[in-house]
Amino acid sequence: MIIASLIIILLLIVSILVYRAVKKEIARRRRLREEELAAQQQMMREAALRVMDEGGAEVELSLDEKYRRELLENAINLAREKPEEVAQLLRTWLSEEEAG
């Protein structure tokens, strides 16, 4: 009876460990996919900006569009250079939004 109880406890512990390992692996793969997608999107953005800078796209932008593009580029650069500070700022905004 005691041996059966110990075997059941051992099986539960092994099951929990396997579950956690699988869960971590799934999260790791999801994170890698998201990072890969973000890198591809960033490369596409940079390529589009290079084409526009080279004059390949003769599009006249309004002042608002230029301002928005500059803000976006600044935000992307800031997130790249100081990710922890940007994350903290976003957390602060979200907590203020939830409180308000």
The ranges assigned to domains in the chain are 1-59, 61-100
pLDDT digits (tens, 9 = 90+) for 42-94: 988 888 888 777 765 555 668 888 888 899 998 899 899 999 998 898 899 88
d(CA 1, CA 8): 11
What is the band of 21 on the pLDDT scale with cuts at 50, 70, 90? very high
DSSP string, 66-98: HHHHHHHHHHHHHHHH-HHHHHHHHHHHHHHHH
